[in-house]
Chains A and B, each alone.
Chain A
């Protein structure tokens, strides 16, 4: 019997959160080892588990996979969340890459100085409303289907929901001009595996706080 995937990361969202979402959406149970000290991190590096000396690391199907996108793509394909053919896959890739660009800005913010952080967060809201959300609202409008690609639940939908919730944490009314995205949010949140993940007690991690920022800065030494 295949072992459960094992995630190695800090006890927080960061670059691992999208991976947790994907596993949860697929209904796959996973284990987590949380890095709490520099020594733990250095041990992983010395043991040769980290190809480029970095986490996230996911142990899955006999592989020590690093690099967030490599892990996400592998899991998406494995769980049939990657479309039915190459043309659907490229659309999923485009949508996911756009969404990940937006989320990368949010991920960076807690580690910036207060003035930069304000600017970044303002930019996130502005880009969400002017660049990203309009695109996905239009996609949903044009095909009138429940899911972003191929009338089937895919990685693009999972990533989109994660991004929506993250932006809403910054600005609760950000979806006010996007009725189809609002409906999409409700619909995807009600998928049983996702619903479970959104409940307290799941492996979903809370937004980063000062403690998390300190922990990561100390372990990664920056």
Chain B
């Protein structure tokens, strides 16, 4: 019997969180091995487990997968969350790549210098309101269906809702003029697997704080 997927990362959201969301949404139980020190990371590298010396790494189906996008693509395909054909996949990819761009800005915020923080937050707010949220609202408006692509749940919906929660933590007012995004957020949050993931005690990680950043600096030496 195939073992559960095993996630290697430190105990924080970082670049592993979208992978946790996707597995959780697919109803797939997984294990986590947390890096707690620089030595833990060195050991993984020395054992030859990290193709490019980096985490995230996910052990799944006899493989040691690295590169978040490759991992997400694999999981989405395996659990039928990637559209029904090539054209739907292209749309899903286009949407999730846009999401990844905004996600990256928020992800890196805790690492920026204090004097730059306000400028970066303003940039995120501007891009969210003027570029990203309008694009997704428009997609939902164009077909009036419950899901972004092909009238069926896909990784695009799961990743968008993760992003909506992420943005909400930064500034809850940003979603206020986007009714269809709000409705999607509610609808997807109520899917049984995600409802469970959104409850305390799940593998979902809390927002990144100063302590997490310190831990990351220690483990990854930057």
Contacts and interface: CB of A to CB of B under 8 A. Distances in A.
Contacts of A97: 67, 69-70
Interface residues of B, number: 29
B97 A94 contact: no
A135 to B, nearest CB: 6
B70 A93 contact: yes
Contacts of B94: 51, 65-67, 70
Interface string A109-125: 00000000000000000
A138 B89 CA distance: 32
Contacts, number: 78
Interface in B60-112: 61, 63, 65-67, 69-71, 73-74, 77-78, 86-87, 89-91, 93-95, 97-98, 101
A131 interface: yes
Nearest to B71: A90
Contacts of B95: 51
Interface of A: 51-53, 61, 63, 65-71, 73-74, 77-78, 86-87, 89-90, 93-94, 97-98, 101, 131-132, 135
A77 B85 CA distance: 11
Contact of A70 (B51, B52, B90): B90
Contacts of B38: none
Interface of B: 51-53, 61, 63, 65-67, 69-71, 73-74, 77-78, 86-87, 89-91, 93-95, 97-98, 101, 131-132, 135
Contact of B101 (A52, A74, A87): A52
B74 A90 contact: yes
